[in-house]
Amino acid sequence: MTEKLRVSSVYIVMAIICVIVMFPLLLAVILPLQASDELAGTLSPLIKFNGDYSKIDYIAQYPTLDNFKELLLYTPDFYRVFWNSFLITGSILLFQTLAAIPAAWAFARFKFKGRKLLFDIYIIFMLIPFQVTMLSQYLVIDCMKLMNTRLAVILPAIFSTFPVFLIYRGFADIPRDVADSARIDGANEWQVLRYIGLPLGRSGILACVVLSFLDLWNMVEQPLTFLKNKRLYPLSLYLPMLGADSGAILLSAAIVTLIPAVFVFVIGQEELEQGIIASALKE
Amino acid sequence: MTNKVFSKRKLGYLPFLLPSLAGVLIFTFLPFADSLRRSFCTAVTGDFVGVNNYKAVFSNEAFRLAVKNTAKFVGICLPLLISVSFLAAYALSRLKYIRLIKSVLLFPLAVPTAALVLVWQILFSDTGYINNILTSHGHSAVSFLGSSASFRVLVGSYIWKNLGYTVLLWLTGIMSVSTAVIDAAKVDGANDRQILFRIILPELKPTLYTITIISFLNSFKVFREAYLVAGAYPDRHIYLLQHLFNNWFVNMDLDKMAAAAVIVFAVILGAIVLLRKAWDKEEQL
């Protein structure tokens, strides 16, 4: 009986924690569904400072999709920014995976001189925060005359070392004999990668894509540093620029920004968890 | 057999590694080496000035403030996150239905910072919702973003974002402790507390090592919340190294940036090496 009581009290505590964690997201979902005069009670105290405090109506009086209509029909800017985000995230994801898969294969399958040292360097640069390499990356990009272009954000990110590390974890688990036997049957190393590495390392690659997507969709530091032209900004910088004055638009744009991330989170949760666990394993 | 395959193509790895390696060299490694050199030179003329840049950085008031805040932030957040997440994971490890709880805790990781900027402002502004609740209950309003309270808000947002990640890692570690050993201890009459302290915790040292490193590195990402909600010059209690780098960059203080980047790099590298050494030593015992 006491055991039962203890278990249910743990469930209750966990439920409370979950409610707290989800609370800001709940607000993000319910607020954009409110009509502008109702929303004014929440937003105008942030702008006008007339002694009022922000109120929140948890149940909208007249739930409406007007804010989304306004965003999607009368805010052409939003499409451009969404396209920026999509282009930046998509091209980084594609090319970093293409560069990382063979590199991870080289680290997992070959024994060469300096392999250990080189891999350590990869790990260290994976762990270094952006601010430390910010200046050096800027100098290269400036030298290539790429400042203030999307490529300035895309190129350095393609060669992030994190994907190499994560995909390597997947490849390292493939038994040697399996790959070697394919070599003996006459396959060259690229074919071994294609027909054995890719299928068996699939979960590592997917994990990397999911984790990278979530991070890239939320990219702040790099575009802030390398893009001066606000027309090139991705969603992660454009939304905060709107400010509370255009709160209704901001809130509905936030939901549209959330949708791809939630979608990837839901379909990729298994891979995401594996990726987190794999990224934590010691080399 | 293996040897034969390898010796045949000694340089066989190169085409696989080259695209990535070239990119890393061009965009990260070589430029970083270059900024190491620059940290000893003036920004404009490139004359060698010895450790002058370092002296300038260390005597810079903003740098000291940023180092102090960043160190304080890391010093409070790491132990807090690690212990809270362990308690949560330990509790979860004894429950049956944890899938949904895990998903909920992990979810903030997927939420772009920008999507919640306005929600944070609604909650924490001087005229925001939390102050509405506080004042209507007779308390006085708190300036959550403009006083020392901002530091606690930032710590809270860090825990909110990273709790799921860390709980998941702890949970994997706890689940991997052999149930046979635990059952044997139970048969010998060990109680829950003894099992936790004598069996489970000692087994989790590798997990602790990785959680510490990952939490440390994620602690730099709170800049996103701090910058997007409170701007380039937030309250002085949450002015972090990341703000400083960003502002030096905007003002093109490149020589100071180079020196500060080298200092931060050295500190982080030192911390990683020390942690690894401490951990390897434990391993041998």
Domains (ranges, CATH) in chain B?
A: 63-284 (1.10.3720.10)
What's the domain range around A43?
A: 2-64
Shared domain check, A126 and A88: yes
Query: Does residue A81 share a domain with residue A34?
Result: no
What are φ and ψ of residue B238, in 5° steps? -120, 25
Confirm or reject contact between B228 and chain A (CB < 8 A): yes
Residue A153 and residue A227 in contact, taking contact as beta carbons nearer than 8 Å:
yes
Residue of B nearest to A222 (CA): B246
Is residue A11 within 8 Å of B95, Cβ to Cβ?
Answer: yes
What ipTM did this prediction achieve? 0.88
From residue B247, alpha-carbon distances to A99, B18, B157, B228 in Å are 33, 36, 23, 14
- Test A280 with B210 for CB contact under 8 angstroms: yes
The confidence score (pLDDT) of residue B95 equals: 87
Same domain, A99 and A184: yes
In this prediction, residue B191 has a pLDDT band, given cuts at 50, 70 and 90, of: confident
Which pLDDT tens digit goes with each residue over A111-148? 888 899 999 999 889 889 999 999 999 999 999 999 99
The reply to whether A131 and A31 lie within a common domain is: no
A112–B10 CB contact, under 8 Å: yes
A247/B21 touch (CB, cutoff 8 Å), yes or no = no
Over residues B112-149, the pLDDT tens digits come to: 999 999 999 999 999 999 999 999 998 888 999 989 99
**What percentage of chain A carries pLDDT values higher than 70?**
98
Report CB contact under 8 Å: A220, B217.
no
In a domain, A32, yes or no: yes
Same domain, A58 and A112: no
**Do the beta carbons of residue A157 and residue A92 sit within 8 Å?**
yes
Q: How far is B34 from chain A (nearest CA, A)?
A: 7
Mean per-residue pLDDT for B211-235? 90
- Give the pLDDT score at A274: 81
Residues from chain A contacting residue B209 (CB–CB below 8 Å)? 282
Could you read off the pLDDT of A219-254 as tens digits, one per residue? 999 999 999 998 999 999 999 888 888 888 999 999
Alpha helices in chain A (DSSP H): 2-30, 36-48, 66-74, 76-109, 115-127, 130-143, 150-158, 162-172, 176-184, 189-192, 198-200, 202-217, 221-226, 235-242, 247-267, 269-280
Q: What was the pLDDT predicted at A75?
A: 86
Of A20, A40, A64, the residue that ends a domain is A64
Looking at the structure, tell me whether residues A251 and A138 fall in a common domain: yes
Q: Are residues A206 and A260 in the same domain?
A: yes
Using the predicted structure, report yes or no on whether residue A24 has a pLDDT greater than 60.
Answer: yes
Domain boundary among A18, A44, A64: A64
Of chain B residues 120-139, which have a CB less than 8 A from chain A?
A: 120-123, 125, 127-129, 131-132, 135-136
Residue B138: CA atoms inside 13 Å, Cβ hemisphere, count?
Answer: 0
Of B12, B91, B160, the CB nearest to A10: B91
Of the pLDDT bands very low, low, confident and very high (cuts 50, 70, 90), residue B54 is very high
The DSSP element (H or E) to which A220 belongs, if any, is: none
- Nearest Cα to Cα of residue A134 among B257, B94, B218, B281: B257
Instruction: Flag whether A69 is in a domain.
Output: no
Share of chain A above pLDDT 90, in %: 51
Whether residues A27 and A136 share a domain: the answer is no
Whether residue B125 and residue A54 make contact (CB cut-off 8 A), yes or no, is yes
Q: Which chain A positions have a beta carbon within 8 Å of B29's beta carbon?
A: 121, 125
Let me know whether A137 and A231 are in one domain. yes
Mean pLDDT of chain A: 89
CATH of the domain at A229: 1.10.3720.10
Residue A116 in any domain: the answer is yes
Whether A97 maps to a domain, the answer reads yes
Find the CB nearest A124 among B6, B246, B269.
B269
A158 & A190 share domain: yes
A92 falls within a domain: yes
pLDDT of residue B2: 47
B186, pLDDT greater than 50: yes
Closest residue of chain A to B265, computed from CA coordinates: A132
Say how far apart CA A48 and CA A247 lie, in whole Å: 13
A119, A35: one domain:
no
CB B136 within 8 A of CB B245: no
Which of A29, A44, A64 is the endpoint of a domain? Answer: A64
The reply to whether A261 falls in a domain is yes
* Residue A1, pLDDT score: 62
pLDDT tens digit string along B67-119?
A: 999 999 999 999 999 999 999 999 998 888 888 999 999 999 999 999 999 99
Give chain B positions within 8 Å (CB) of A99.
19-20, 23
Write out pLDDT tens, residues B1-32: 444 444 445 778 889 999 999 999 999 999 99
Whether the pLDDT of residue A62 is over 90: the answer is no
Q: What pLDDT, on a 0 to 100 scale, did the predictor assign at position B160? A: 96
pLDDT attached to residue B9 = 58
Domain count, chain A: 2
Pairs across A and B, CB distance < 8 A: 281
Asked if residue B261 has pLDDT above 90, the reply is yes
* pLDDT surpassing 90 at residue B61: yes
Of A13, A43, A277, the CB nearest to B172: A277
| A253, part of any domain | yes
Mean pLDDT of A64-83: 90
Query: What local confidence, expressed as pLDDT, does residue A283 receive?
Result: 44
The predicted structure's pLDDT at residue B11: 78
- Residue A88 and residue A57 share a domain: no
Nearest chain A residue to B10 by CA distance is A112
